[in-house]
Structure 1
Amino acid sequence: MPLRPPHPILSPARLPEPLLALRLTPLFVLSLVLLSLSLAGCAGQAPRKDQPVLSGGSGTLGRADPGFLQWLERQSLLGAAPEAAVVVSGSEIGWRAPGSPPVPSLLLTEADMWLSVEPRLLLTGGKRSALEELAQPPVFEALRACGIRGVYLRAAAEAGAVWGYDRAATTTGNDITGHGFAEDVGTEEDFSRLAHTASKSRTLLASDLVPAATGLGPDFFLAARGVRDYPGLYCAIEIPRDLWGLLPPPEGEWRGVALDASQTSALVERGILPARLARDALVWAATGGWASTGEVRGADGTLRRWVYRFHQKPGRPVLNWNDPSATARRTLSASAIRQVGLRRLPLVGLEIAPLAGQEAGGATVSTAPLPEAARSLGREVRRYGGWTWMRDVLPFADLQDIMPDGPDFATSPVTTTTVEHALLTEDASALRDCIDSALESGLEFRRFVNTLPSADGIDYSLPQMMAAGHRPLSPGGLPGAVLQAHMVAGAHRRIGAWGEQAPFIGDVLYVNATTLSAIAAGFTPAQAAADENVVAIVRNHLFLAAFKAAQPGLFMLPADNLAGTLPLTWEHVALRPESWRKEQAARGAWSPMPPISGLAITRGGVPRAPAAYPPVVVQKGIEGSFVSGMARLASLRTATGVAQGIVVARPATRGEGSVALLTRLPGDRGHILTIANFAATPTTEHIRLERTWNLDAGTRGKDMLDETFTSMGTDMQIPMAARQCRVILLR
């Protein structure tokens, strides 16, 4: 089996003997060289939030100020590419480790349970940054106590809001515009302190690469000004001046305005835009389209207007992987070198679904260049000694094509949304269909990342179902598109009294796991905040976590789950109800430490969320708390080695809300039968284990979560309480 150099934070004493010979890795060399480069580039800093950047206009020059353009280049993503590439080009660094095939086993051994943290949502004490708050030793002691072995920093980089053009459009920080950390997140020095604390507690760190749809920042400004090869970075087309009348009226230089159908058709008729993109045939692809800029004064003094592709909203322009300048590839490569090299992160996340169908035509269904990009980035990161997590949810057929030589891990299309929907509606049919589809596709469950709902909500767009169209996901099931519509309707019915505190906007239900657990328990928002109902919320929450923790692969727990955050209301955020964005309901701030008196808002202006649970550092000493429950699930994963297990079958179940999986454990540890009852009423399941699964009449079973249950043989009568998950070890 091809082996990869170990990440420096992994102790050589715990690595296989062949890996010890490869202990000298490129990461140390990369980190030293890139550190000097990063320090050299610190002269230019992004503008503060109270100082939005101006247009850098012509003044008396009749063109964009050259000094301003140089300053923008120092801030840009593409501007860092040459310095990053020179570290690897012409050296032995790119030859030290194999780029393929993916080898996830080492990371699964060292860190199979992760905490996903959005630093922007952390409340901090005094003048501490979010990274400094997270770096406090008591926090890591609490995380280790509940089994967390890795911390994934989400949306930590500088985002579009800092440039001041449409701050209201940036609520998540996903619209990345720079390699550096956002001002309210922290500095490189803060990150170094966090890395030191993490290393002392033997906890790994991870974060994102630049996404395939950035924000409106220096790179976009330089592209629109026609600076060198920057226009090739985005899917952008310069519009001849005599056709500007076909574009939407400008709303300033940089506020992108989406083209409507008639405006798009007019440009198509004149041969400016393609009549159709391959993406248009992808029914599962996220919304997007063409948008136009205002009148932008270029580096040469020429006024230009551009039309560009955007992902979800005009504030997220899409990179152009196919451009001959290779600027998109160079930008993403620079991000990989900086994250894996400079910051020494063993795991990096990819968001590349915006690249799907980036081809003119559309007569045939094609996701190009997404597969090529996924494979290229997966191989490059492996050559540097790291692993990649493709955070996008993709259809089963696309994963079947990409994963053999692509990213090391992908967000699970099996458990994402389907498990949450089963808890919400007591109907596990979609979950059963997705399990069957994954088994039929031959996908490795151990290369999936299983997550719980976070502040981003529950996405009911369900690409894994919509791609099936009019075909059923599994024999006898509903057609994929019909099943998706059925699920959306069912979720709407269950929201009930929660209204704007559980808003359904588009295809996204904006609730996190705590709120979902409260809704499933039948509580109203007022009841969810009552102390006497916390036990019921924790029970549902741990039930949800238990089912996902019993799956092979990585387990990723969003940090707000530890605090048990509940929804914000408009009174927390705005002066009047009509002026707040409803999707902010799930985006409240929290703190792992006991609250500081009067601290009710983050440095970035996010208000504290109501919390059902005590602070993390307090919970670890409370029997029956969510944190103590997670510690038990971590022990189960360690004892069974289920992270590296192989799902071999889905045994038949009787109840509409029931599902079962049989997983073969590594080595000679046997099998585990994971069975869950998502219904609010008890049931009894009759499970027959087949001899083809290497189980016989002498098989003994013991529930790892409820040790009072034991069984003998392959014909099992299993009593299931309401909303109960059993993990039965079979030997």
Structure 2
Amino acid sequence: VVGVDGKPRRWVYLHYFKEGQPSLNWLDPTFAAQQMIIGDALHAIDVMGAKILRLDANGFLGVERKLDGTAWSESHPLSITGNQLLGGAIRKAGGFSFQELNLTVDDIASMSHGGADLSYDFITRPAYQHALLMGDTEFLRLMLRQMHTLGIDPGSLIHALQNHDELTLELVHFWTLHAHDTFLYQGQTFPGNILREHIREQMYERLAGEHAPYNLKFVTNGVSCTTASIITAALGIRDLDAITPADIQQIRQVHLLLVMYNAMQPGVFALSGWDLVGALPLPAEQVADLMLDGDTRWIHRGAYDLVDLNPDAPLSAGQMPRSKTLYGSLISQLEDPDSFASQLQKILAARRAYDIAASRQILVPDVEHPGLLIMVHELPAGKGTQITALNFGSTPITETLHLPNIAPGPVVDIINERVEGDLTPEGEFTITLDAYEGLALRVVSSSPMI
């Protein structure tokens, strides 16, 4: 490599996260890495006008060799300190930060103390996809409870649909720190590493390969796919070219269910333009040149046109092929009250009206039906109790819920503004959900919570 002085030299660098991507030396006593990154962050805020910054792979800052010769980085004290310095500098400059940190739940909790303001929800993201693929919410419920047990408030998480990366199936929590801890799942006790392999096998089988050939594995720890193509895999649709108008209606229904899971709980809700238009993966041959190094993620990064700016263009300005989309542009969707975007608008209006983002999750109860998930939230400012009820299964559900220590009263659907029944003084409420239906409910009570 030719240095700044014009002399060629052989350079040796440390990498921990990925070959070809040097890691800055956060252990160097000159603090050059800290100065450079904090300077970059302050430049982004003060000069570029950014308000929120993403800290990626920020758990790998304090790399050190253990006595057994292996590297130690996750939860290294200097990783935690480095994040506190960076997060503190960003806050001091008037910005916010979030960490995209796919580690154990314990590590995410440690790195959040005084570090980034928010964390990407890698805790329940693969779990809610598993719930959809299997029609069973038990693993999702297990992860929600792990989150609470280890002291993470869901209000500190960014709950998201599709992003630019693969659907990661690393399940790091069960791979490393908790590999030999035992977990109760489907009536049996599993070591963490065995539970991890079981969940991964189920998801790979349903999400890719013969069952859904349009989704592709990404190296060894994930699947390249769009939200829409996760749903088509769950619905057993093998040929994306054979999707019918009736299929699109059902895909949209399931997509809104996933919106409900992520938006109707405390924290930040995020979705992508690919979600808004219902993008499908690109055929692999269209991006074969970009995948020569084995990176299959290009299939879910297709171009889209949100506002019909250039509806006939086959390629984006960056030369990405246009994705096939199921929902159309926002312009056309907002003229249709039944469209994905119009329904999303109603969901977000209810989320905003009742300040669900700032609520407190107080209960994730056991249920009888495998496809049912219930999350109970205490709304801020004395607005009462909110219940998110989701059917991840393909059959209707009628079930009596048992919700202790919640003041009784009428139960109202806050999205469609209709009464769904009553919560009794004994804490019982009977709920009815169609296949893949979600409800956002509020208990209207004049009494405070018990």
Q: TM-score, normalised by structure 1?
A: 0.56
Equivalent position of 1:343 in the other structure: 48
Q: Give the deviation of 1:522 after TM superposition.
A: 2.2
Is structure 2 residue 195 aligned with structure 1 residue 479? Answer: no
Match of 1:638 among 339, 352, 361: 352
In the alignment, structure 2 segments of 5+ residues that lack a partner are 445-450
- Aligned equivalents of 2:41, 2:342: Cα separation in 1: 36
Please tell me whether the aligned partners of residues 439 and 649 of structure 1 are also in contact (alpha carbons under 8 angstroms): no
Which whole-Å CA distance do the structure 2 matches of 1:581 and 1:446 have between them? 33
Task: State whether residues 456 and 512 of structure 1, in contact with CA within 8 Å, keep that contact through their aligned partners in structure 2.
Answer: no
Determine which of 328, 339, 344 is the counterpart of 1:614: 328
1:478/1:411 CA distance change after superposition, 3 Å: farther
* Counterpart position of 1:454: 163
Aligned with 1:493 (options 180, 201, 205): 205
Aligned residue in 1 for 2:448: none
- 1:709 correspondence with 2:417: no
The 5 Å alignment of 1:498-647 reads 499-505=212-218, 506-527=220-241, 529-574=243-288, 582-594=296-308, 596=310, 598-647=312-361
Deviation at 1:354, TM superposition (A): 5.5
Report the TM-score when normalising by structure 2. Answer: 0.88
For 1:685 and 1:528, the matched residues in 2 are separated by 36
Helix, strand or coil at the partner of 1:674: strand
Alignment of 1:90-129 (within 5 A): none
Corresponding residue for residue 17 of structure 2? 311
Q: Which has the higher contact order (CA 8 A, sep 6+)?
A: 1
- Alpha-carbon distance between aligned partners in 1 of 2:67 and 2:428, rounded to the nearest angstrom: 52
Match of 2:432 among 709, 719, 730: 719
Following TM superposition, by how much is the alpha carbon of 1:449 offset from its aligned partner in structure 2, in angstroms? 0.6
Per-residue deviation at 1:571? 3.6
How far apart are residue 415 of structure 1 and its match?
Answer: 2.5
- Answering whether residue 29 of structure 2 is matched by residue 324 of structure 1, we say yes
- In structure 2, the CA distance between the partners of 1:606 and 1:613, relative to structure 1 (3 Å rule), is same
Cα distance in 2 for residues equivalent to 1:406 and 1:454: 23
Q: Once the 2 structures are TM-superposed, how far is the Cα of residue 532 of structure 1 from its aligned partner?
A: 4.0
Cα distance, 1:356–1:427 mapped onto 2, change above 3 Å? farther
Structure 1 residue 375: Cα displacement: 1.3
Task: Provide the aligned C-alpha RMSD in A.
Answer: 2.6
Q: Work out the number of aligned pairs and report it.
A: 432
Q: Over residues 386-438 of structure 1, what are the superposed CA-to-partner deviations in whole Å (9 max), with x where a residue is unaligned? A: 11111223322223323232211111244221111211221222211111111
CA distance in 2, matches of 1:490, 1:356: 34
Could you say if the C-alpha distance between residues 300 and 497 of structure 1 is closer, same or farther in structure 2, counting changes exceeding 3 Å?
Answer: closer
Alignment-mate amino acid for residue 395 of structure 1 = T
The 3-state SS of whatever aligns with 1:662 is strand
Letter in 2 for 1:482: I
Q: CA deviation at 1:723?
A: 1.5
Deviation (angstroms), 1:307: 4.7
Q: 2:99 aligns with which of 390, 393, 400?
A: 390
| Closer/same/farther in 2, CA of residues 302 and 519 from structure 1, 3 Å limit | closer
* 1:544 alignment partner AA: L
Alpha-carbon distance in 1 for matches of 2:22, 2:180: 32
State the one-letter code of the partner of 2:297: E
Unmatched 5+ stretches in structure 1: 1-54, 56-63, 65-224, 228-298
Q: Which amino acid aligns with 1:656?
A: P
Which residue is 1:375 aligned to?
84
Q: Which amino acid aligns with 1:492?
A: Y
Q: 1:473 to 1:393 in 2, by over 3 A?
A: farther
1:470 — aligned with what?
Answer: 180
Query: Equivalents in 2 of 1:587, 1:663: separation in Å?
Result: 35
With over 3 angstroms needed to count, the CA separation of the structure-2 counterparts of 1:580 and 1:344, relative to structure 1, is closer
Structure 2 counterparts to residues 220-239 of structure 1, below 5 A? 225=3
What is the alpha-carbon distance in structure 2 between the residues aligned to residue 356 and residue 659 of structure 1? 37
**2:354 and 2:67 mapped to 1: Cα distance?**
47
Letter in 1 for 2:434: A
Q: Could you say if the C-alpha distance between residues 671 and 311 of structure 1 is closer, same or farther in structure 2, counting changes exceeding 3 Å?
A: same
Quick one: distance in 2 between partners of 1:718 and 1:709? 8
Residue identity over aligned pairs, in percent, reads: 22
State the alpha-carbon separation in 2 of the partners of residues 376 and 675 from structure 1: 40
Deviates more, 1:483-492 or 1:470-479: 470-479
Contact kept, 8 Å, 1:356 with 1:367, in 2: the verdict is no
In the superposition, relative to structure 1, how do residues 362 and 480 fare at CA in structure 2: closer, same or farther (>3 Å)? farther
Is 2:187 the partner of 1:442? no
Bigger Rg, structure 1 or 2: 1
CA contact (8 A) 1:570 1:580 kept: no
Higher fraction of helix: 1
8 A Cα contact 2:16 2:60, kept in partner: no
Instruction: Give 1:357 deviation, angstroms.
Output: 5.7
Listed one character per residue, the Cα deviations across residues 638-671 of structure 1 (whole Å, up to 9, x for unaligned) are 1211100111121111122222111111011011
